[in-house]
Amino acid sequence: MSKNWMRHFELQLLDKDGKGIVLSDFKVVFDIQKTAPQSFAGFVGNFRIYNLSKNTENRIMGNEFAKIRVIAGYDGLEKTYDESDVGVVRDINPETIGQQDGANYGLIFNGDIRFTITGKDNVTDSWLLLQCIDSWEGHLSSVTVTTHAAGWTWQDIVDQGMKDYAPWGITKGAIPEMPPTVFPRGRVIFKTTRELMTDVSRQCNADWWYDNNQLYMRPDGKYLHEVSEAVVLNSNTGLIGRPKQTMGNGVNVRSLINPNIRMGGLIRLDQASVYRASLSSDEVANSPGRISEQNTNGNYTVSGTVNQQPASVSTDGDYIVVCIDYHGDTRGNPWYMDMVCIAKGSADMMNKSTLGKLGEVQ
């Protein structure tokens, strides 16, 4: 099991050829918003880097760099080696880097630099702010122009969309099986690829988004097995405080930064640790009868005439992550992630004010 000990942080700025600089040793304050596409389907990150040299600052402001990669988590306790291990070569699988010997760090943001400004907190502390969005170039620029002959399926549409995203480095992530319907008439498509993916997601009742230059879709009420196994969260594994049930906006969870927790993935909580929400006085006063809880598909819901339904609480503690906000300060206290989660198998619909944090983007 990983140990949440010794923060790990890397910030890489890359040019269009993949070459760049690493600014991991500077004070960096960051926040990253990851949310499903009630608005824009990408993830937004703000990174404030302190006390850079004028030369480095000018290179960044001069648009030398186009991409940003951020890796965060924990190095864990340093491993103690036996004397016989000295000088012995050990093979390391690249896929397990950051996830072995008690470490737990990984990529939490990979996006395009969109805006940069400079400023000062005081006489001595200057900063440069990078505002970035995952997969923004492809989101804006990719267009699908094609004709499908009679006999096309929605899988054909997905495959075409991914071909059109390829020049911008956007690849296929976890996408569910498409409806098997075969259409008897041909179809002409002339639209942006993002509009095409919105059409596809509606056909399978799914949310979709970009993450690490990959496209993901999550059907309503389902979680993405391909993203990760269920991550157990408790006080020993990074849970901060108690999860809180809200009125119709999921269950709010805060934990230390854990790159294994992903959008569309699953976390597992102790059901008894969830702080329950109470009904308002008006709801109780206006109810024509007694209000009670019922177990529906393994989730507790409120039965009776209730205008504002509390979010479902899972009886087995399994929740799907539908929104993540990261907050970090490499020289300060913040180093956590806030999550909005819904009970696995529930029919909860998220409030637009919760998921639509980024505003409408056409």
What's the rounded Cα separation, in Å, for the pair 78 and 90? 16
Cα dihedral sign, 107-113-115-121: positive
Instruction: Work out the pLDDT band at 171, boundaries 50, 70, 90.
Output: very high
Asked if pLDDT for residue 286 goes beyond 60, the answer is yes
Rounded to whole angstroms, the Cα distance separating 320 from 237 reads 18
pLDDT tier for residue 296 given thresholds of 50, 70 and 90: low
Which residues make Cβ contacts (< 8 Å) with residue 303, sequence separation at least 6?
291, 292, 293, 294
Q: What is the mean pLDDT of residues 152-166?
A: 96
The pLDDT assigned to 277 comes to 72
Q: Average pLDDT of the chain?
A: 84
Q: Is the pLDDT of residue 292 over 80?
A: no
pLDDT of residue 80: 56
pTM attached to this predicted model: 0.84
Instruction: Return the pLDDT at 73.
Output: 95
Residue 362: is its pLDDT beyond 80? no
pLDDT digits (tens, 9 = 90+) for 115-127: 999 999 999 999 9
The pLDDT score that the predictor gives to residue 78 is: 62
pLDDT score at 346? 74
Residue 103 above 60 pLDDT? Answer: yes
